[in-house]
Chain A
Amino acid sequence: MTVSIEPPLAMLAEITHRCPLRCPYCSNPLELSKRSHELSTKVWLNILDEASELGILQVHFSGGEPTVRDDLTVLIKHAEKKGLYSNLITSGVLIDKSKLDSFIDSGLQHIQLSIQGADSEVGDYIGGFPGGHQKKLEVAQLIHDVDLPLTLNAVVHRHNIGQIKKIINLAEKLHAQRLEVANVQYYGWGFFNRKNLLPTREQLMEATEEVNKARDRLKGKLVIDYVVPDYYARRPKACMGGWGRRFLNINPAGYVLPCHAAETIPGLRFERVTDKSLSEIWYHGSAFEAFRGTDWMPAPCSTCDRKEIDWGGCRCQAAAITGRPDATDPACELSPDHGSMNSIAQNESKPSQEQFQYRRM
């Protein structure tokens, strides 16, 4: 059965790969885009026009660290003019009061601020940026002072998942409306550092219990989004809400991707927004067509009653673990490769403090 193609709802605008932090699980690819390859302001303004025309409702300005670009205010202003809801995904370390004011005056609706731990010791160690954690606390206060909604994003792994209770308390203290507790996704840098990041099953169970307790206590005050890492899951996630269904990503060099990690999948050909219209790429681009809908699915997905719920899970993960991008996501217990994912989790997760490799250009 062919699923009809809907227009996308959201766009992740990765305007740069540059970032002062060096998190070892960075979602950017191992091969980072140089500053000289970044799109110009003019091209981004044009992309925002096309995005609005295409039916996109929300734009997430991201990176790298998006605030390293001094045209961010111009881009936010243009998004606002086009009726796009704009969100800033930031490490916060380069934001001061006047920058924040200029974003808000331009129409910024929301900020997602990352933390790397519950305190300076862990946070600065993971981010590889001395003084970063303290700076984030100050920025969170500035955001609260101007009454802008704040989501705190904490990526968790072996080295900080034990701090979960403190992280939740910090989110409360910083007046966040939402807390995203995101387990590392093991593609790109995360995959590269997997054996030094995977939490143990015990760590994970403890954290899950803490989150559930906090959710009851904080109902109506703080929304906690929490997703179990795929390596301990029984069913896959509907990655991106389905490939090419709701979401597109534009990387710093202008390539349009179905998800931010799609370049890790061998054999896909991506197109640039400077060569073709966004609409043409969304509706007819070969990378978007590759895994859209359900026709591409192998067994057991093809006959599964959940195929239009989880859309076969994550293609990047299938490629990373099995070498076959069109395999059932091994996070699914029905996948023939589920056992090998379990053994990876068992063999590589340790309660140790082994050194990972920081992200580098």
Chain B
Amino acid sequence: MAKTRIIMTEKVVPVFPKGVRLKFDKKRKQWVVLAPERMFVLDEIGISVMHCVDGKSNVDEIVDSLSKQFKAPREEILDDVVEMLQDMADKGVLDE
């Protein structure tokens, strides 16, 4: 059977699975996520979130760190960050 769907709750530690790379595209001067036969160009928020994916921090800690970085209240960004991580997980770009 294939793996089960990952739900990005507070204690989940997101990681990039094999075959997924965060890369700075020098030619176009932008960050991209390279994945099997697809690629995603990230906006500024997306880049910040993806840079927090270090294989150690859980979702809670990622939200904390972004909250500090953008000087925004935790509760204001929580939903957006979780939604983005979930979306990336559903696309197979993040694992746990």
Binding site for B on A (CB under 8 A): 7, 9, 54-55, 57-58, 60, 83, 85, 87, 109-110, 112, 147-149, 151, 171-173, 175-178, 218-223
Look across to chain B and name the residue whose beta carbon is closest to the beta carbon of A9.
Answer: B39
Main secondary structure of the interface of B (DSSP, over half): loop
Q: Is B37 an interface residue (CB 8 A)?
A: yes
Interface size on B, as a range, is: 20 to 34
Q: Check if A57 sits within 8 Å of B25, measured CB to CB.
A: yes
Work out how many contacts link A and B, with CB atoms closer than 8 A: 72
- In whole Å, how far is A221's beta carbon from the nearest beta carbon of chain B? 4
Let me know if B4 is at the binding interface, CB within 8 A.
yes
B5 beta carbon closer than 8 Å to chain A:
yes
How far, in whole Å, are A112 and B90 apart by their CA atoms in the complex? 19
Which residues of chain A come closer than 8 Å to B56, judged between CB atoms?
none
Cβ contacts under 8 Å, A112 to chain B:
36-37
- A222 lies within 8 A of B2 (CB): yes
Inter-subunit contact B37/A151 (CB<8 Å): yes
Chain B 53-76 per-residue mask, 1 if CB under 8 angstroms from chain A, else 0: 000000000000000000000000
CB distance from B50 to the nearest CB of A (A): 16
CB of A263, distance to nearest CB on chain B (Å):
23
Cβ contact within 8 Å between A177 and B92: yes
Alpha-carbon gap, A175 to B78, bound state (A): 32
A-B pairs with lowest CB-CB distance, top 10: A220-B5, A55-B27, A149-B19, A110-B36, A85-B34, A221-B2, A110-B19, A172-B2, A220-B90, A109-B19
Closest CB of chain B to A219's CB: distance in Å? 6
**Known A175-B2, A223-B91; 19 more pairs at CB < 8 Å:** A55-B27, A57-B34, A57-B39, A58-B34, A60-B37, A109-B34, A109-B36, A148-B18, A148-B19, A149-B17, A172-B2, A175-B1, A177-B2, A177-B36, A178-B92, A218-B2, A219-B5, A219-B90, A221-B4
Residues of A within 8 A of B2 (CB): 171-172, 175-177, 218, 221-222
